[in-house]
Structure 1
Amino acid sequence: MSLEFFPPTKEELEQIIEGLKARLEEKVIEFSIDGKNLFLPSVPVISVQEILMTYLQGRFEISIDDRYIWGWDVLTSIAKNDGFDTFTDFSLYYKSKMNSDGVYSGKIIHWTKLKY
């Protein structure tokens, strides 16, 4: 599986990815794409949270660490912290990544002390 996972930009306080299983306990991520070392710097991981996004019956919903997330301010901050300009852009992107049941499950990799 190929991960869409790149070093964080200045705008990103976190990055949401799927398919990451191991090496997070080391608290450092070494970047590579398709197994090729790109000589990118290792980045310290401050914390990791589980995220579940669903799109069912016309509703886009988010749970983080088994807690339902609601409130426009929180939802827009999640989108902006993941590097998106708007929550609409964020939801459209992740809807396109959902499985046939309308579910996306992944991890939030935090580069700062921010947690939800």
Structure 2
Amino acid sequence: MTLGFKTKTDDGKPTLFPEKVLLCLMSEVLIKIVDWNDIMKDSPYGQMAVGTYAPKLHSIREDIRWKPGVMIDFYTGVRTNNAYRFAPRVSVVSVQKIEIIPEPPKPHSLDHPRIYLKKIDKKTGKEALLCFSVRIDNRYQWENEIKKLAKNDGFDTVDEFFEWFGAGYKGRIIHWTSLKY
């Protein structure tokens, strides 16, 4: 199945998702050297600055069709004339449910952890305090786990992660490594 990746955010900043996926596949030895040379000879990702960013270990999607064993076709430019397969096929190792839940800003309670973010409203310029909780396979994640989740999904910060997915998100973490939360 096709797993498409944006190369830029809505405001034009490079995501580096393809580079981070390739870095993961290289570091996990999921790409053989022969395959790597074949992939990179005409690739726009051939001049990667390896070591300047962390690998993308999984992807999060709303699509519920992903199952272990399904082959992943990594693409950019899906549904355009510029569609490009940037990595060899690998199989889905595991899938986990994820929920990003908006919460009322209040002190940490004993029932479950929350994460707080300060955001500036682009229209009004006013600062707002946003509060979220994250559940993976029905288990709430602590702040350090959410930071790790964001990094492993290719984001530099938790703010970027929440900006990308937003509150009220339900989906699946598609793993192509043995990592689990």
Give the TM-score of the pair, scaled to structure 1.
Answer: 0.74
CA pair 15-39 structure 1, distance change in 2 beyond 3 A: closer
Whose RCO is larger (CA < 8 A, sep 6+)? 1
In structure 1, the partner of 2:72 is 29
1:17 aligns with 2:61: yes
Q: Give the aligned length.
A: 106
The answer on whether the counterparts of 1:5 and 1:17 sit within 8 Å (CA) in structure 2 is no
Percent identity between matched residues is 37
In structure 2, the partner of 1:68 is 140
CA pair 30-20 structure 1, distance change in 2 beyond 3 A: farther
The answer on whether the counterparts of 1:52 and 1:64 sit within 8 Å (CA) in structure 2 is yes
User: Gaps (5+ residues) in structure 1?
Assistant: 96-101
In structure 1, the partner of 2:4 is 5
Q: Where in structure 2 are the equivalents of 1:1-116 lying within 5 Å? A: 5-6=4-5, 8-10=21-23, 11-22=55-66, 24-31=67-74, 33-34=78-79, 38-40=84-86, 41-57=88-104, 58-70=130-142, 72-95=143-166, 102-116=167-181
User: Gaps (5+ residues) in structure 2?
Assistant: 6-17, 24-54, 105-129
C-alpha displacement of 1:93:
1.5
Q: Compare the two structures and name the one with the higher strand fraction.
A: 1
Q: Tell me the distance in 2 between the aligned counterparts of 1:15 and 1:27.
A: 14
Look up the equivalent residue of 1:28 and give its one-letter code.
M
C-alpha displacement of 1:59:
1.3
CA RMSD of aligned residues (A): 2.6
Q: Tell me the distance in 2 between the aligned counterparts of 1:80 and 1:60.
A: 17
Alpha-carbon displacement from aligned partner over 1:4-60 (angstroms, at most 9, x marks no partner): 7336342101111112425x2433223452398745531222111010112232311
CA pair 69-39 structure 1, distance change in 2 beyond 3 A: closer
Point out 4+ residue stretches in structure 1 off by more than 3 angstroms.
Answer: 34-40
Bigger radius of gyration: 2
C-alpha displacement of 1:92:
1.7
Q: Tell me the distance in 1 between the aligned counterparts of 2:133 and 2:3.
A: 22
Look up the equivalent residue of 2:174 and give its one-letter code.
I
Give the TM-score of the pair, scaled to structure 2.
Answer: 0.50
